[in-house]
Amino acid sequence: MNQVKTRFFSFNELNTIITFVVVVVIFSVFTPNHLFIDARNLASMAKLIPDIGIVALGVGILMVAGEFDLSVSSVLPLCSFVFVKFLETGMYPVLALLLTLPVGAALGFINGMIMVKTGLPSFIITLSTMLFIKGLLFSVSKMMPISLFKYLPSSASFTLALTGTIGRFPVQFIWLLGIAIVLGVILRRNKFGNWIYATGSNQEAARAMGVNIGLVKISLYMLIGVLCAFAGIMQATRLGSFAATQGVGFELQAIAAVVVGGTSLRGGIGSVWGMFLGLFIIKTIETGLILMRVPVFGVETFIGIAVILFVIINETLNRRSGK
């Protein structure tokens, strides 16, 4: 298994790094007045990317284990709503956050348990839970936005700790980087990481090695739930309000980002470093095209083409490397 991961680093990650550099250079040169490398644009990207980035890292690690989670776009706003309701009771923000994270974990546990116990494809299970949770959220929230400024003014310590700046550097990017480092160490340097790769590569072989496949998958779904809860709270804090439409489209954006970062749709291949770069490639293309005044539908077309090309390239590299 270590051999597989080494080869993956040599081909897929190298390809991702080269692509990232090329994309950044292209948009730095061709955007009007070189707006892409303007400090204000880079700061804006650093504020926005963590919202989807934190979720994408969890989704990517689950994909390494060979499964999908489409429910993230519903789990995130529901956890944000729960957080706001805790605040409305007069609860301290830190305590509200700590109590909301288990809510996300519980939703992930439900996803994992249903998938493991029924043996149904995770795509179908999480699509169903996404629709159920979304309907529940729309019902209880009545689709009404809720302002947080009464509970979390922009000068509050909690707000600054989640969405403030250090100099001109957004704190939320530091959160993304820290989470990426922790997950990267777990995936690459920990026994549980080996179990994840084994589960995604060959489940029968993993079982023969004594790996508890069900435990691995349920744990990863719970991890995604916690990450969704944290990202939802961070996004609501940054925006100063809750909206039932938080996280719309995140499920597909997350998959696109990690696929571009070299994670295989078939499981067994992927790295947090690659997912991290894949996220930036997608957001760089999106931002660069917007700055070049490409219509919104055109941006989505280009991103769709880019994802298809990356899937083809990565699958070709995987076959050549003997995966």
pLDDT band with cut points at 50, 70 and 90 for residue 77: very high
pLDDT tens by residue, 198-242 = 999 999 999 999 999 999 999 999 999 999 999 999 999 999 999
Q: Are 126 and 112 in contact (CB under 8 A)?
A: no
Q: Model pTM?
A: 0.92
CA angle 304, 247, 27 (to 5 degrees): 40
Number of structural domains in the chain = 1
DSSP string, 57-120: HHHHHHHHTT----THHHHHHHHHHHHHHHHHTT--HHHHHHHHHHHHHHHHHHHHHHHHHH--
pLDDT at position 1 over 80: no
Residue 147 φ then ψ, to 5°: -75, 140
The rounded distance, in Å, linking the Cα atoms of 11 and 222 is 31
Of the listed ranges 60-74, 169-183, 284-298, the least confidently predicted one is: 284-298
pLDDT per residue over 14-33, tens digit each? 778 888 899 999 999 988 88
Q: Are 43 and 197 in contact (CB under 8 A)?
A: no
Range of the domain at 135: 2-320
CATH code of the domain covering residue 216: 1.10.3470
pLDDT in tens, 43-64: 889 999 999 999 999 999 999 9
